C-alpha cells in the first residue's frame, strides 16, 4: 500500500490537493523517465534524436497554446506566427552579439510583448470574432516577416547562430537534445506550478464560467490578455529553440497550416492538460513518419499504382492531420491525457469497475 493510493481521500489541505505528484509512484516514474531521456543520445541515432528535439520545441509552443485555449477558454489560429516571431527575434539578438542562451529567453519576452499587443483588443472578443482576430494576427505577422528584411531577412530568410555555452558548441543532435530537454522540463514545471497559483485558478475560472468569475472579482480583460502573453512567451521560446537547431529560419515555415498543427496538438493531447501538450506534440510529430512508413510499405503495389501514393505523400500527410483531428473530436474529445488517466485507473482498480 506504500506505492498505491489507499481507499478514501485523506487530503486535508489545498496544498495536498494540488500537488503535482499525487503518489510516490508517479514521482518515481517521472524521474525514471527523465533518466531514460538523458541516456537517449547514447542509444539513439541522429534521426531519432532529431525527432525528439522536434517534439521538445513543439511541445513547448503547444503548452503555451494550451494555456490559452485549454486553461483559459480562448482561441487562437495564429500561434505559428508567434512561434516564428520568437525564431526571428532570437536570430536577430544573436546577430547583435547577444549570447544565444540569453537570446532565447529575450526572444520569449519580445514575443510575449507582441502577444500582449494582439491580446489586448482580443480580450474583449469571444467565439468566432476572437478566432477571426487571431487569424488576422497570423496574416499581419506573416506579411511583416516578408517585408521587414532588417528583422527576418525577408523572403531570403535569416541564418542563425549555434547554441554556445561556456565555450562549448551545441550544434549536433547529440548535444542540442539536452538544451531542448532542459528548457522543456523547466517550462513544463513552471506551467504546472502556474495552474496551482491564484492567477492559474483565475484563468481556469474564466474558462469555466466567465460571468461567475467576474462576479467573484476576477478581471476578465486582464486575465484574457495575460493568457495571450503567456502563450506568446512559450511560443517564442519554442521558436527560438527551433531557430538555433536548424540554424536557418525561413518565412514560409510559419504559415496557417502550422498554426492548425499546433491546435491539433492541443486537441489530440487534451485541452487543459499540461502532460497532454507533450503527448499531442509527440503524436503530431510522429504521425507524418508513420504515414511515410506506410507509403513505403505500399510502394510498388497495386494500391500504389492506383492511388499514386508516392507522388502525393505530402497531401496524404495533410489528410492524416485532418483525419486525426476529426477522429479525436468524435471518439476521444478529451484527448490522449484523459485516455492515459483512464488506463492508469483501470490497472489501479482492477478487477473492480469503480
Residue-wise pLDDT tens digits, 274-299: 888 999 999 999 888 887 777 666 66
Per-residue pLDDT, averaged over 258-263, amounts to: 90
DSSP H or E stretch at residue 164: strand 163-165
pLDDT at 24: 72
Q: Which residues partner with 165 through β-bridges?
A: 168
pLDDT tens per residue across span 53-101: 999 999 999 999 999 998 988 888 889 999 999 999 999 999 888 999 9
Q: Which pLDDT value is given to residue 3?
A: 47
What is the pLDDT at residue 168? 82
- 11-47 pLDDT tens trace: 777 777 777 777 777 788 888 888 888 888 888 888 8
Q: What is the pLDDT of residue 18?
A: 73
Q: What is the maximum span of the chain, computed from C-alpha positions, in angstroms?
A: 65
Query: What average pLDDT does this structure show over 244-248?
Result: 90
pLDDT digits (tens, 9 = 90+) for 285-344: 988 888 777 766 666 666 666 666 655 656 677 777 778 888 888 888 888 888 888 887
CB proximity list for 3: less than 8 A, separation 6 or greater: 23, 24, 25
CA–CA separation, 310 and 92 (whole Å): 39
pLDDT of residue 232: 94
Cell digits of residue 161: 547562430
Half-sphere exposure of 296 (CA within 13 A, CB side): 6
Residue 1, pLDDT > 50, answer no
Res 79: pLDDT = 92
Amino acid at each position: 500500500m506504500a506505492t498505491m493510493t489507499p481507499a478514501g481521500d485523506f487530503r486535508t489541505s489545498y496544498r495536498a490537493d494540488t500537488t503535482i505528484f499525487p503518489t510516490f509512484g508517479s514521482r518515481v516514474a517521472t524521474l525514471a523517465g527523465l533518466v531514460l531521456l538523458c541516456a537517449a543520445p547514447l542509444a539513439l541515432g541522429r534521426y531519432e534524436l532529431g525527432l525528439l528535439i522536434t517534439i521538445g520545441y513543439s511541445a513547448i509552443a503547444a503548452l503555451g497554446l494550451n494555456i490559452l485555449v485549454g486553461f483559459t477558454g480562448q482561441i487562437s489560429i495564429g500561434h505559428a506566427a508567434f512561434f516564428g516571431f520568437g525564431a526571428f527575434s532570437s536570430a536577430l539578438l544573436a546577430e547583435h552579439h547577444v549570447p544565444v542562451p540569453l537570446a532565447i529567453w529575450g526572444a520569449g519576452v519580445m514575443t510575449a510583448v507582441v502577444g500582449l499587443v494582439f491580446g489586448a483588443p482580443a480580450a474583449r472578443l469571444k467565439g468566432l470574432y476572437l478566432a477571426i482576430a487571431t487569424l488576422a494576427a497570423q496574416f499581419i505577422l506573416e506579411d511583416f516577416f516578408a517585408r521587414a528584411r532588417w528583422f527576418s531577412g525577408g523572403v531570403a530568410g535569416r541564418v542563425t547562430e549555434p547554441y554556445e555555452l561556456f565555450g562549448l558548441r551545441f550544434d549536433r543532435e547529440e548535444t542540442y537534445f539536452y538544451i531542448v530537454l532542459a528548457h522543456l522540463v523547466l517550462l513544463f514545471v513552471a506551467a504546472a506550478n502556474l495552474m496551482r497559483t491564484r492567477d492559474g485558478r483565475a484563468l481556469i475560472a474564466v474558462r469555466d464560467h466567465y460571468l461567475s468569475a467576474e462576479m467573484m472579482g476576477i478581471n476578465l480583460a486582464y486575465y484574457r490578455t495575460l493568457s495571450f502573453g503567456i502563450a506568446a512567451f512559450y511560443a517564442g521560446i519554442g521558436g527560438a529553440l527551433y531557430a538555433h537547431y536548424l540554424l536557418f529560419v525561413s518565412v514560409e515555415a510559419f504559415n496557417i497550416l502550422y498554426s492548425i498543427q499546433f491546435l491539433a496538438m492541443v486537441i489530440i493531447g487534451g485541452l487543459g492538460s499540461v502532460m497532454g501538450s507533450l503527448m499531442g506534440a509527440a503524436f503530431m510529430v510522429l504521425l507524418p513518419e508513420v504515414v511515410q512508413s506506410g507509403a513505403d510499405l505500399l510502394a510498388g503495389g497495386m494500391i500504389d499504382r492506383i492511388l499514386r501514393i508516392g507522388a502525393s505523400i505530402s497531401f496524404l500527410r495533410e489528410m492524416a492531420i485532418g483525419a486525426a483531428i476529426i477522429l479525436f473530436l468524435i471518439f476521444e474529445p478529451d484527448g490522449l491525457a484523459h485516455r492515459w488517466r483512464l488506463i492508469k485507473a483501470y490497472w489501479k482498480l482492477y478487477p473492480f469497475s469503480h
